[in-house]
């Protein structure tokens, strides 16, 4: 798998312009042998809605021409593409990511864990954590704040995900997620993690970039700064199937999953009792 994370600015409320830029990037990256391309959270629509009315105004249906243009690009180049957008589905709004692969029908993930920020103040939380079977391995998709809830990544890893894609909009103040939590999620689950943040300003927020592609060991394979930039890394997702680390054979070995004690974790799924 050769993956690219396109860290870019976004045109608020203009899916056609954002999709056109995405297609141009996809064409360029395909020529370089990239077969997986990830774009930021809410890339097609923008994120910083100031009201429920604003959120509804920027949201698009899953059948929108902007998404169709990315589907066509995925089919033309035989690629896997992940991109975020504000989704309108009947009377509900979601913070979603489309997962587009070759000629397959589009698949979608809806953000499950919501901060009190921008679009997320006005959407319905998603209700599933699927693992997607692809020609490039088993992948999981989370969006931005989903990463802060460690159980979400662990559920995907236990279900066989080899790579986690995280489209995100990290604003100033979220540096710990960009610099530390994504690395921790990769290492504690022994999976590859690719984060794709946006940059620029929108609705009074400045986004920090710092996208990363991380190995199961926690080693950073590629990292971006705080401007527009595309990072690329190549790896074999099958490496994430091995959960055992052998530092010194027979003397220092660890197994991330075999040593779990699920009976000790029952409180994780109990309702939170507020004082």
User: Across the chain, what does the average pLDDT equal?
Assistant: 97
The set of long-range contacts for 224-230, using a CB threshold of 8 Å and a minimum separation of 24, is: 224/5, 224/7, 224/197, 226/199, 227/7, 227/199, 228/7, 228/8, 228/9, 228/199, 229/7, 230/4, 230/5, 230/6, 230/7, 230/25, 230/29
CA-to-CA distance for 156 and 138, rounded, in angstroms? Answer: 10
Question: What is the three-class DSSP state of 111?
Answer: coil
169 pLDDT above the threshold of 90: yes
Q: How confident is the model at residue 103, as a pLDDT?
A: 85
Tell me: the pLDDT tens digits for 25-68? 999 999 999 999 999 999 999 999 999 999 999 999 999 999 99
Q: How confident is the model at residue 231, as a pLDDT?
A: 98
Per the annotation, the verdict on 48 as an active-site residue is: no
CA dihedral in degrees (39, 43, 48, 51; nearest 10)?
Answer: -130
Residue 44 in tokens: 């097609």
237 pLDDT above the threshold of 90: yes
Nearest to 177 by CA among 190, 193, 191, 157: 193
pLDDT mean over 256-267: 94
Q: How confident is the model at residue 275, as a pLDDT?
A: 78
Do you know the residue count of the chain? Answer: 275
Residue 245 in tokens: 């680390």
Q: How confident is the model at residue 194, as a pLDDT?
A: 98
The gap between the terminal CA atoms of the chain, to the nearest Å, is 48
Residue 237 in tokens: 């997702």
Tell me: the pLDDT tens digits for 84-117? 999 999 899 999 999 999 889 999 999 999 999 9
Per the annotation, the verdict on 5 as an active-site residue is: no
Let me know if 212 is exposed, middle or buried by CB neighbors in 10 A (0-12, 13-18, 19+): buried
274 pLDDT above the threshold of 90: no
CA-to-CA distance for 145 and 157, rounded, in angstroms? Answer: 18
Per the annotation, the verdict on 212 as an active-site residue is: no
CA-to-CA distance for 12 and 182, rounded, in angstroms? Answer: 27
Nearest to 37 by CA among 70, 72, 85: 70
Catalytic site residue from 98, 144, 182, 196 = 144
Catalytic site residue from 5, 25, 41, 71 = 41
Tell me: the pLDDT tens digits for 1-25? 999 999 999 999 999 999 999 999 9
Q: How confident is the model at residue 273, as a pLDDT?
A: 81
Q: What percent of the chain has pLDDT over 70?
A: 100
pLDDT band with cut points at 50, 70 and 90 for residue 163: very high
All domains in the chain, ordered by first residue: 2-244 (3.60.110.10)
pLDDT mean over 210-221: 98
Catalytic site residue from 25, 87, 101, 111 = 111
pLDDT mean over 216-244: 97
Q: How confident is the model at residue 272, as a pLDDT?
A: 84
């Amino acid at each position: 798998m050769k993956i690219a994370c396109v860290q870019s600015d976004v045109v608020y409320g203009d899916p056609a312009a954002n999709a056109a830029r995405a297609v141009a990037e996809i064409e360029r990256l395909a020529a370089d042998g990239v077969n997986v391309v990830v774009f930021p959270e809410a890339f097609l629509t923008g994120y910083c809605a100031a009201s429920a009315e604003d959120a509804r105004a920027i949201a698009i249906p899953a059948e929108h021409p902007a998404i169709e243009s990315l589907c066509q690009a995925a089919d033309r180049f035989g690629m896997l593409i992940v991109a975020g957008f504000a989704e309108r589905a009947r009377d509900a709004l979601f913070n979603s990511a489309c997962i587009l692969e070759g000629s397959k029908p589009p698949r979608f993930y809806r953000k499950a864990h919501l901060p009190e920020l921008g679009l997320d103040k006005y959407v319905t939380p998603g209700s599933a954590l699927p693992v997607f079977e692809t020609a490039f391995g088993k992948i999981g998709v989370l969006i931005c704040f989903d990463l802060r809830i460690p159980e979400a990544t662990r559920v995907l890893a236990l279900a066989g995900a080899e790579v986690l894609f995280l489209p995100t909009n990290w604003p100033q103040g979220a540096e710990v997620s960009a610099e530390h939590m994504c690395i921790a999620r990769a290492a504690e689950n022994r999976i590859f993690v690719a984060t794709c943040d946006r940059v620029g300003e929108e609705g009074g927020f400045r986004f920090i970039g710092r996208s990363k592609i991380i190995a199961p060991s926690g080693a950073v394979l590629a990292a971006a700064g705080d401007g527009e930039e595309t990072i690329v890394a190549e790896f074999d997702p099958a490496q994430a199937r091995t959960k055992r680390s052998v530092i010194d054979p027979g003397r220092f070995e660890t197994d991330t999953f075999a040593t779990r004690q699920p009976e000790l974790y029952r409180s994780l799924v109990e309702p939170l009792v507020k004082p």
